[in-house]
RNA sequence: GCCGUUGUAGCUCAGUGGUAGAGCACUUCCUUGGUAAGGAAGAGGUCGUGAGUUCAAUUCUCAUCAACGGCUCCA
């Protein structure tokens, strides 16, 4: 007998060789029907795998993340079975579960897959799912597996096999499809009740753009139709919050073919948001001891050779303009210009920390396929600043920067974020990273310690650093689940030397400052794109392009509307009158759809009493108020940058 | 840059081998209406761009540009 410990802590005895499925059945038939896989001592395994020793067991169902991913991985096999049936010559690479669903990468030979084929494949999958075929595992010696795939002429699976050791190779078969697979899988195909193949895409073999491109089909499956319907509805809802759609509806920005790809034009409404953000940044940075500078958008080639950007990043920069034998580049970053400002006048330790800030305009030649709305563009405005400090000052400066991030997150109600400490990869020293192993080690420890000291939760990732030093990337998720690096905080132990920057210390000797690059509000482009999705277009009043709209019941009240407008304008409120010849219901509807925070309805009653009727966007009628009282409350809400 | 999809009025979208439609928006008129769409009339398009096939192309073919879904990339 073996002892099985269940998640509630209870211990039950079973015959050696019992499977997780046996144990589920002993608890209840209903549970057994829901079991997709099992977690045994922390490993996810087939529910049909015999247990021969005492173990901690968790039965995995659709409600568990591991249960879902097993379900989706098995669905990928089901899809492969369908592809094999329709395109028999197909060679398969890998088919993992992803965050929402699964994909399979395949080489279809000369065949092309269109979106119409997805419907055919879905139909086949449904057919095979109904057969309720079991996923059967078979372990195989390595040479036998090699023979099998050599005969099939399947170079992809042979490549996978080359990285596997004898004894860890298994095949899974369901219906007529057999695949090299580590597993685990769900018991049988019958639990896959609702299937949607979402898209067909190209994907480089092994993720390397030098390799052949395989065909990738994405899909998602559910154990019932209702959840699929809900998922599809959720996708529809997400589309409504897409910053590209909202940006158009709310007249925030536009793109124009004659201007160029990835070059957004900010419309007046976008201009207002930009001004408000810059006002916030300037106030915050001024209070934190930053000084503002202004620098040109171009510079000579030589500066980027000094900085080291050119050899590393020439591909991401616009090609140079050549004048009188000198090459000028549009800048892709502001750092070198700022270093030159530091260097313009001699510095003493008394001048440090030297903090200079600028909303710097940069141009990056992102590949056309990488462009994405406001999130990836070719012209960007960065909330940039550089801090030049001594080693002793580093920790407190770095912490102050992180505190600034947190302050901003509070204002914008960002509660889901991860600070990602991005480290170098020692294997790529001299190629992707400056070859200074000792300095990497030192600065990485300094940054890690600064994070620990300020109690900020963070994760560490290898091979994500900037070429000149480690960095902290702030990952955030928009309301519709998109993840991006919003902001960055980087240490630079390299540029100081490259630009021969120095200061005179207390002992009258020269030292090279450390440099912190930081951009808490990222770029206007990405940040406003994020805010559009975050607020679903319903900006807090302080950021809203139009803060209040005066809606007269009829044009008999236009004079009164004008006096209200003047009062609001005098108080610095962005307000307009809806003077169209429309009924109040229509005016309200249109203003609601434009997501204007306040609608001020005025008619005979209001005019006689010197009041306004207030309607808050999304919240309906709030009743009437004295004009003065409303304006002072509104001003307060705006000045405090209140969230809601 | 690569694979796939798409491109018709300001917006959302129908449609056709015989040079085009709807709703909303816009303009004018009627209406002066109390918290999410009052009525009428009008104006607006080289059917992304270029070439080919055809008596005839917005429609078919090719090229090109752009957008979208991915891959790669993201200082």
Structure confidence at residue A99 (pLDDT): 85
Identify the CA nearest to A333 among candidates A311, A350, A309, A357: A309
Whether any strand B atom is under 7 angstroms from the Cβ of A65: the reply reads: no
Do the Cβ atoms of A292 and A360 come closer than 8 Å?
no
Closest nucleotide to A313 by C1' from CA: B75
Measured to protein CB atoms, the chain B nucleotides within 7 Å are: 1-5, 11-12, 25-26, 29-38, 65-75
- Separation between the CA of A272 and the C1’ of B69 (whole angstroms): 32
Inform me whether the pLDDT recorded for A617 exceeds 90. yes
Do the Cβ atoms of A288 and A404 come closer than 8 Å?
yes
Protein chain A, residues 231-260, with a C-beta closer than 7 Å to any atom of nucleic acid strand B: 244, 248, 255, 257
Inform me whether the pLDDT recorded for A116 exceeds 80. no
Structure confidence at residue A415 (pLDDT): 84
Do the Cβ atoms of A149 and A171 come closer than 8 Å?
no
Identify the CA nearest to A184 among candidates A79, A35, A83: A35
Q: Is beta strand A43-45 parallel, antiparallel or unpaired with respect to A354-363?
A: unpaired
**In chain A, where the domains are located:** 2-61, 66-236, 253-534, 548-639
The backbone torsions φ and ψ at residue A282, rounded to the nearest 5 degrees and listed phi first, read -65, -45
Q: Which of A51-60, A202-211, A212-221 has the lowest mean pLDDT?
A: A202-211
Protein chain A, residues 169-198, with a C-beta closer than 7 Å to any atom of nucleic acid strand B: 198
Identify the CA nearest to A511 among candidates A618, A424, A393, A425: A393
Q: What percent of chain A has pLDDT over 90?
A: 53
Q: Which helix (H) or strand (E) holds A254?
A: strand A253-254
Protein chain A, residues 535-554, with a C-beta closer than 7 Å to any atom of nucleic acid strand B: 553-554
Structure confidence at residue A603 (pLDDT): 94
Beta bridge partners of A49: none
Whether any strand B atom is under 7 angstroms from the Cβ of A152: the reply reads: no
**Mean pLDDT of the A23-38 span:** 89
Inform me whether the pLDDT recorded for A589 exceeds 90. yes
The backbone torsions φ and ψ at residue A26, rounded to the nearest 5 degrees and listed phi first, read -70, -25
Protein chain A, residues 434-473, with a C-beta closer than 7 Å to any atom of nucleic acid strand B: 466-467, 471
Angle A259-A265-A271 from CA coordinates, rounded to 5°: 160
Inform me whether the pLDDT recorded for A153 exceeds 80. yes
Q: Which two tokens stand for residue A543?
A: 């950021």
- Separation between the CA of A472 and the C1’ of B45 (whole angstroms): 51
The three-class DSSP label of residue A241 is coil
Closest nucleotide to A335 by C1' from CA: B75
Give the CA radius of gyration of chain A.
31
Q: What percent of chain A has pLDDT over 70?
A: 100
Fold of A2-61: Ubiquitin-like (UB roll) (3.10.20)
Q: Is beta strand A548-552 parallel, antiparallel or unpaired with respect to A598-602?
A: parallel
Q: What is residue A429's DSSP assignment?
A: B
pLDDT (tens digit per residue) in A280-327? 999 999 999 999 999 999 999 999 999 988 877 888 899 899 989 999
Structure confidence at residue A637 (pLDDT): 97
Inform me whether the pLDDT recorded for A262 exceeds 80. yes
Q: How many CB atoms lie within 10 A of CB A67?
A: 23
Which CATH architecture does the domain made up of A253-534 adopt? Answer: 2-Layer Sandwich (3.30)
Number of residues assigned to chain A: 644
Whether any strand B atom is under 7 angstroms from the Cβ of A42: the reply reads: no
pLDDT band per the 50, 70, 90 thresholds, residue A436: confident
Q: Which helix (H) or strand (E) holds A524?
A: helix A524-534
Structure confidence at residue A517 (pLDDT): 94
Do the Cβ atoms of A267 and A257 come closer than 8 Å?
no
pLDDT band per the 50, 70, 90 thresholds, residue A597: very high
**What is this model's ipTM?**
0.93
Q: Which two tokens stand for residue A255?
A: 């793109």
**Mean pLDDT of the A340-366 span:** 95
pLDDT (tens digit per residue) in A514-552? 999 999 999 999 999 999 999 999 999 999 999 999 999
CA end-to-end span of chain A: 61
**Mean pLDDT of the A421-436 span:** 85
pLDDT band per the 50, 70, 90 thresholds, residue A164: confident
**Residue bearing tokens 């889901």:** A416
d(CA A109, CA A101): 25
Inform me whether the pLDDT recorded for A115 exceeds 80. no
**Mean pLDDT of the A477-484 span:** 79
Structure confidence at residue A285 (pLDDT): 97
3-state secondary structure A171-219: EEEECCEEEECCCCCCCEHHHCCEEEEEEEEEEEHHHCCCCCEEEEEEE
**Mean pLDDT of the A437-460 span:** 87
Closest nucleotide to A517 by C1' from CA: B75
Inform me whether the pLDDT recorded for A239 exceeds 90. no
The three-class DSSP label of residue A229 is helix
- Separation between the CA of A114 and the C1’ of B48 (whole angstroms): 23
Fold of A66-236: 3.30.980
Do the Cβ atoms of A120 and A92 come closer than 8 Å?
no
Whether any strand B atom is under 7 angstroms from the Cβ of A200: the reply reads: yes
pLDDT band per the 50, 70, 90 thresholds, residue A244: very high
Whether any strand B atom is under 7 angstroms from the Cβ of A333: the reply reads: yes
For every residue of A285-320, DSSP letters joined together read HHHTT-EE----SEEEHHHHHHHTHHHHHGGGSPPP
Inform me whether the pLDDT recorded for A108 exceeds 80. yes
Closest nucleotide to A623 by C1' from CA: B35
**Mean pLDDT of the A391-420 span:** 91
The three-class DSSP label of residue A228 is helix
Structure confidence at residue A411 (pLDDT): 95
Protein chain A, residues 510-539, with a C-beta closer than 7 Å to any atom of nucleic acid strand B: 517
For domain A548-639, give the CATH number.
3.40.50.800
> Chain-wide mean pLDDT for chain A?
91
With b for 16 or more beta-carbon neighbours within 10 A and e for fewer, the A468-501 pattern comes to bbbbbbbebbbebebebebbbbbbbbbbbebbeb
Q: Which of A429-433, A437-441, A581-585, A623-627 has the lowest mean pLDDT?
A: A429-433
Closest nucleotide to A593 by C1' from CA: B36
d(CA A192, CA A78): 9
Structure confidence at residue A549 (pLDDT): 96
With b for 16 or more beta-carbon neighbours within 10 A and e for fewer, the A211-226 pattern comes to eeebbbbbbbbbbeee
């Amino acid at each position: 007998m073996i002892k099985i410990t269940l998640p509630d802590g209870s211990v039950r005895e079973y015959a050696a060789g019992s499977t997780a499925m046996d144990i589920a059945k002993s608890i209840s038939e209903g549970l057994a029907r829901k079991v997709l896989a099992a977690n045994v001592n922390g490993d996810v395994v087939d529910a049909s795998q015999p247990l021969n020793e005492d173990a901690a067991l968790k039965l995995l169902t659709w409600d568990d993340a591991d249960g879902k991913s097993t379900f989706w991985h098995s669905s990928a096999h089901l899809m492969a079975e369908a592809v094999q049936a329709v395109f028999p010559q197909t060679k398969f690479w890998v088919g993992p579960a992803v965050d929402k669903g699964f994909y399979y990468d395949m080489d279809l030979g000369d065949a092309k897959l269109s979106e119409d084929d997805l419907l055919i494949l879905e139909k086949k999958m449904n057919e095979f799912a109904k057969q309720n075929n079991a996923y059967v595992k078979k372990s195989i010696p390595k040479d036998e597996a090699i023979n099998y795939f050599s005969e099939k002429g399947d170079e992809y699976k042979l490549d996978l096999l080359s990285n596997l050791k004898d004894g860890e190779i298994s095949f899974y078969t369901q219906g007529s499809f057999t695949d090299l697979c580590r597993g685990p899988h769900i018991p049988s195909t019958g639990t896959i009740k609702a299937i949607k193949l979402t898209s067909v895409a190209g994907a480089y073999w092994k993720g390397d753009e030098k390799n052949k491109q395989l065909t990738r089909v994405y899909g998602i499956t559910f154990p019932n139709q209702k959840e699929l319907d809900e998922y599809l509805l959720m996708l529809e809802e997400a589309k409504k919050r897409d910053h590209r759609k909202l940006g158009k509806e709310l007249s925030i920005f536009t793109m124009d073919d004659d201007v160029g790809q990835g070059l957004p034009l900010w419309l007046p409404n976008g201009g207002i948001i930009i001004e408000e953000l810059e006002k916030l940044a300037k106030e915050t940075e001024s209070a934190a001891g930053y000084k503002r500078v202004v620098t040109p958008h171009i510079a000579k080639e030589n500066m980027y050779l000094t900085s080291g950007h050119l050899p590393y990043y020439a591909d991401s920069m616009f090609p140079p303009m050549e004048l009188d034998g000198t090459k000028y580049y549009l800048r892709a970053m502001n750092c070198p210009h700022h270093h030159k400002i530091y260097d313009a006048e001699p510095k003493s330790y008394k001048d440090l920390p030297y903090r200079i800030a600028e909303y710097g305009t940069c141009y990056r030649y992102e590949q056309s396929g990488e462009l994405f709305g406001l999130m990836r563009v070719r012209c960007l405005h960065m909330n940039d600043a550089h801090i030049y400090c001594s080693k002793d000052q580093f920790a407190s400066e770095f912490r102050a920067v992180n505190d600034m991030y947190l302050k901003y997150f509070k204002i914008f109600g960002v509660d889901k974020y991860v600070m990602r400490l991005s480290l170098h990869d020692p294997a790529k020293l001299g190629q992707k990273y400056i070859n200074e192993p000792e300095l990497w080690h030192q600065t990485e420890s300094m940054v890690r310690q600064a994070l620990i000291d300020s109690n900020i939760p963070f994760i560490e990732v290898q091979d994500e650093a900037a070429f000149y030093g480690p960095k902290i990337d702030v990952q955030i998720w928009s309301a519709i689940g998109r993840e991006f690096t919003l902001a960055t905080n980087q240490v630079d132990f390299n540029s100081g030397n490259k630009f021969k920057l120095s200061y005179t210390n207390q002992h009258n000797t020269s030292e090279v400052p450390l440099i912190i690059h930081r951009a808490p509000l990222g770029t206007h482009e990405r940040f406003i794109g994020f805010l559009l999705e975050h607020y679903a277009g319903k900006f807090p009043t302080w950021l809203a392009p139009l803060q209040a709209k005066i809606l007269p019941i009829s044009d008999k009240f236009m004079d009164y509307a004008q006096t209200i407008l003047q009062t609001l304008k005098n108080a610095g409120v962005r307000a307009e009158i809806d003077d169209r010849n429309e009924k109040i219901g229509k005016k309200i509807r249109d203003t609601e759809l434009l997501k204007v925070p306040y609608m001020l309805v005025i008619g005979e009653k209001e005019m006689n009493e010197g009041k306004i009727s207030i309607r808050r966007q999304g919240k309906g009628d709030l009743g009437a108020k004295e004009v003065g009282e409303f304006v002072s409350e509104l001003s307060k809400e705006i000045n405090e940058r209140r969230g809601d």
